[in-house]
Structure 1
Amino acid sequence: MRRGSRVQPSTVGEGGPLGAVRVAVDGAAAGRWEALNHLVEVLLEVDDAGDEGVARSALALVAGAAGVVIRLDRHARQAPWYGPYQESTLRRVGARFSITTSGPVAMALASMHGDGRIRERAVAAMVGRPCPEMMPFLVLRTADWVKPVRDRARAELALLLADDPGGYLPAVLPMALRLDARLRGGFAVTQIRAALLSAPAEVWRGLLGSGGRRQRRFVFDIVLAQGWLRLPDYVTCAETDSDVGIRVRAAEAACREAVWSRRHDVLRRLARSVRAEVRVVALTGLVRAGQDSDVAAYLEDDAPLVRAVARDAARRLGIDAREHYRTAVSAGEPALGAIVGLAETGSAADTPLLRPLLSHPQAKVRAQAVRGLRLLDAVVAQEVLPLLRDPSPAVVREATTALRPLTGALPPDLPWELLGDVRVELRRAGYRLLCGHGVDVELRAALMLTLDPDPRLAERGKADVTRLARDGARNTWRRTPPPELPVTVAQHGELVALAARAAAAVGEDTSRMLTTWLARTRPDA
């Protein structure tokens, strides 16, 4: 289906009406004016069918895509001065809208009409036959710039939330949070907060267990401020919730109550959490409770902040953290936290303890050893160089980071060999080692990377080629001069050939800028 084209009746039938709506919503989420107009036409096709259940499902699909309702609302009052759609389809909705006979789709579209009187009639129609799928469109009108429309929508929204908070809050909340930053957008959020404060527990528990991150944090903050959860609930949230913000807030509440009530068992339980941010809060609670011996046991933790809290507790107990790390690293199977901990507290004198770990059989140990040497500024290029082809991608990544400041000590052809390797992590390493070696080297490497079979590497190459081409094609009258391209005739020819091969990958605009830049910087024979 071509984006922006008019929809024939048969189009809606392909895959069912909702299938056509889903495709149109996906296009409108990232498309321009024509894609939004296309979505309106598909919705009107659904409205013509007269099936209210399908119409409500179509509105739910529109409301479920982030930002599409707001884009449609803006689209209703804009029309391009060129092209086949010089009049928005939404402007034609007013002629067919009726308070008594129109369906949910027609009501929702009419609520975004440019005429305030039609919008006010649409608000009245939505309230006369309310359904959760139309609530995002009603919330938009609570921030309307026309006072009668705004007042009518606000009054009706307040009544609906008061009568049935469980039915309407899930549909109202996402749109209200999006409008909160607008000039007149705070009303809906205030009403939601009031509805939540008076709603039964199952309502806010349902909102807390579903929806997007912003919605769940908003609800959790209200629940936290009201003290509706008990200590076991906070512990469960801290250990199992999928959102890091909620985990931290729950852990802070749980640890605060545990410190006050001297529930050290709760603090120790959270200190064993798999989440580093929860462990830090729990260890801080143990410090406040005077349990430094429990905290010092985490000197070898994987998380840097946890190790820092543990070292502070060890200092108060008279434990030398550096000696502890030295002993731990000298063991046959050192903990990963001990290796990095030695790098954080040690000096160049401790590098003999780390260098033997570069050949350790465990990849994680080798990677941490490279990182430790880098933190101690004790990297020797010839020792780390073999790790560039390590079987572990993590080791390759750490070795590349450590060797980037020392590329002068590497074989000149090595980065180019890595860039052509069959392993994706080695190609990434080769490209990183070539960055920062002059515009000519960066351009050649980026052009080669645009044709990489790995999509992420190809996208990075395309972005770098676009950046370099824009800088190179910059007009000479700008304050910053365009970069120089110091290449020989043969090297210039190679760049031209690479640019031709990458033309389809980088796009027409970038290819044109790149061609202009290369033509202007062609060296004399």
Structure 2
Amino acid sequence: MAHGGAGAGVATRETYQGGVAAALRLADGMPLERALATADPCAWLALDAGVRDVPWYGLGVPGARRYARPRIDELGGFDDPRLALALCHRDGRVREAAVHRSRHRPDLLPLVVVRCADWAAPVRERARHVLREALDVPAAVALAALILRVGRRQRGAFGEGLLEETLRHAPRERFSALFTDPDRAVRRFAYRLALARRLLSPAELARAAHQDADTVVQDLCASAALATLADLRDGDVLGDVPDDVLTPLLTARNPRTRSAGVTALRAAGQPHRAEAYLADRSALVRACARYVVRQHGDDPAARYRRWCAEPQDPAIAPGAVIGLAECGDRADAGTLWPLVDHPAAGVRAQALAGLRALDVTDVARLRPLLDDPAPAVVRQATVSLLPCAKQLPAPWLMERTGPHRLRHVRLAAFRLLDARGGIVALRAAVGLLNDPDDKLRTWAGQSVQRWHPATDEPHGAAEVGELLDRSRHLFSDYVLERRKREAGVGG
């Protein structure tokens, strides 16, 4: 698709084919803005790759020789569409001459950017000279996405460095459009540049951390906002912090951003507000809230115990249940066990997770939870029972893999059967090889393929040979015979 490294980096086959089509439209004389999406950096990269793969001589395009083998002395008379094709030519001498002819053609500057990472040194150096002369602030803003994409290439660092150099001293309003660019790499670049120059206020940083969809931008801005709210030398309180800084952080969807906001409450002199985040859905946010609450002189565990004291209270938050396990001790298992019967599935699931975190397991009390109607509860019960899988009756588990059971119950039962190993696991897996459920059928096949006889079971059982024969389509003949000999049923 790409030749000599000049066109590497086209993301998809469809994009590349669009580049071939754009090359043909340019050869037909169509203006650049109609031949391709000039605002899309991928379109330029696709054109660069597509031009070299157009079979010019076989297409019957009028004047095909001009595109396949143009004379260098003719390039000065080429219009933008034909010069764009020359900028992407296979021959490095043609590309170098085309770069020179493009010095005063701003519409072709995107292809000059691409040539700055060309594999041929003369082309590359000429393109860098032209780009350095032509790249002003408006052009840098318009080409930022393309420059950063080309910057990922082996020889692409020049353009990225020139972009930063061009915008380093530009007024903020001249490149503020980059903060909302659809390309996340552009937004990351813009925010890093603004942070290095200290151009954004704490409120703007908090707002960006709240609104941007990219987690890297969120972390950058949240960390920067947090740094403005705390005295890193001695932790002194900074005084009142406006809500337009704290509120966006505290209400963000990203847990890392919320945790930054919670941590900032201590420096802002508002540690009492951290109590509301002790029951947050994120473990990271809960941990930060516990830190702030402890620094304020309160005991988070005592608050969790009060919240969880009434096992049927509909107001109990799942985060409060797991929070108790995160900072409590094994004695708190007495508070968590009644919560496994709570009407809210989230509370039941977190109660099971909390018991496991406290290293408390009771097989007899956990067994009924494998029939819970909530998948999250069954998943947590299964994880807790996996180390004790051999204590569960195999027939009881096998019955729960039947087609009349809920899907999440069937998956959990098979997972526990597989964890038992031995002939029980093989019997369950082979029985599900033709199951209509794709996931269960796939898991069963994988279980059979990795099965080995258990060391604590007698070898030579005829049933093992029969089960392996029923699943012979999963093995080569050699592996099947070896597995049979390993089980003592080889012929």
Q: Residue 144 of structure 1 aligns with which residue?
A: 118
Alignment of 1:271-420 (within 5 A): 272-275=250-253, 276-331=255-310, 332=313, 333-413=315-395, 414=397, 417-418=400-401
Q: Deviations over 1:302-349 (max 9, x none)?
A: 322332233333334443332222221113232222211111122222
Alignment of 1:32-71 (within 5 A): 42-53=21-32, 56-57=35-36, 63=42
How far off is 1:220 after superposition?
A: 0.6
Q: Is residue 166–residue 203 contact of structure 1 (8 Å, CA) maintained in 2?
A: no
How far off is 1:189 after superposition?
A: 0.7
Q: Residue 131 of structure 2: which of 157, 160, 166 is its match?
A: 157
For 1:234, give the aligned amino acid: L
Q: Residue 228 of structure 2: which of 253, 257, 267 is its match?
A: 257
How far off is 1:228 after superposition?
A: 2.0
Q: Residue 172 of structure 1 aligns with which residue?
A: 146
Paired residue secondary structure (2:401): helix
Which has the larger share of helix? 1
Query: Would you say 1:488 and 2:464 are equivalent positions?
Result: yes
Cα distance in structure 2, aligned partners of 1:190 and 1:443: 63
Cα distance in structure 1, aligned partners of 2:52 and 2:444: 35
Paired residue secondary structure (2:394): coil
- Uncovered stretches (5+) of structure 2, i.e. residues with no partner: 2-9, 54-64, 232-237, 453-459
Cα distance in structure 1, aligned partners of 2:116 and 2:434: 48
- Percent identical among aligned pairs is 30
Q: Is residue 419–residue 430 contact of structure 1 (8 Å, CA) maintained in 2?
A: no
User: Quick check: 115-124 or 219-228, which moved more?
Assistant: 115-124
Q: Deviations over 1:166-224 (max 9, x none)?
A: 66324433323423xx3x43211111112223445455222210233222111111011
Q: Is residue 342–residue 348 contact of structure 2 (8 Å, CA) maintained in 1?
A: yes
Q: Is residue 161–residue 168 contact of structure 1 (8 Å, CA) maintained in 2?
A: no
Cα distance in structure 2, aligned partners of 1:364 and 1:147: 62
Q: Residue 248 of structure 1 aligns with which residue?
A: 219
Q: Compared with structure 1, are the counterparts of its residues 153 and 444 closer, same or farther at alpha carbon in structure 2 (3 Å cutoff)? A: farther
How far off is 1:96 after superposition?
A: 5.2
Q: Residue 433 of structure 1 aligns with which residue?
A: 416
Q: Is residue 141–residue 153 contact of structure 1 (8 Å, CA) maintained in 2?
A: yes
Q: Is residue 165–residue 195 contact of structure 1 (8 Å, CA) maintained in 2?
A: no
User: Quick check: 320-329 or 444-453, which moved more?
Assistant: 444-453
Alignment of 1:76-91 (within 5 A): none
Cα distance in structure 1, aligned partners of 2:316 and 2:184: 38
For 1:27, give the aligned amino acid: R
**Aligned-residue CA RMSD in angstroms?**
4.3
Q: Is residue 443–residue 468 contact of structure 1 (8 Å, CA) maintained in 2?
A: no
Cα distance in structure 1, aligned partners of 2:70 and 2:85: 11
Cα distance in structure 2, aligned partners of 1:59 and 1:468: 52
For 1:253, give the aligned amino acid: A
Q: Is residue 263–residue 288 contact of structure 2 (8 Å, CA) maintained in 1?
A: yes
Q: Residue 13 of structure 1 aligns with which residue?
A: none
Q: Residue 60 of structure 2 aligns with which residue?
A: none
Q: Deviations over 1:125-144 (max 9, x none)?
A: 55454427x61x43332133
Cα distance in structure 2, aligned partners of 1:110 and 1:462: 58
Cα distance in structure 2, aligned partners of 1:121 and 1:458: 62
Cα distance in structure 2, aligned partners of 1:207 and 1:290: 35
How far off is 1:244 after superposition?
A: 2.2
Q: Which has the larger radius of gyration?
A: 2
* Matched length: 445
Q: Deviations over 1:84-105 (max 9, x none)?
A: xxxxxxx99642586344764x
Q: Compared with structure 1, are the counterparts of its residues 364 and 210 closer, same or farther at alpha carbon in structure 2 (3 Å cutoff)? A: same
Paired residue secondary structure (1:295): helix
Cα distance in structure 1, aligned partners of 2:89 and 2:440: 44
Q: Residue 510 of structure 1 aligns with which residue?
A: none
How far off is 1:45 after superposition?
A: 3.6
Paired residue secondary structure (1:418): coil
Alignment of 1:98-113 (within 5 A): 99=75, 100-101=77-78, 104=81, 110-113=86-89
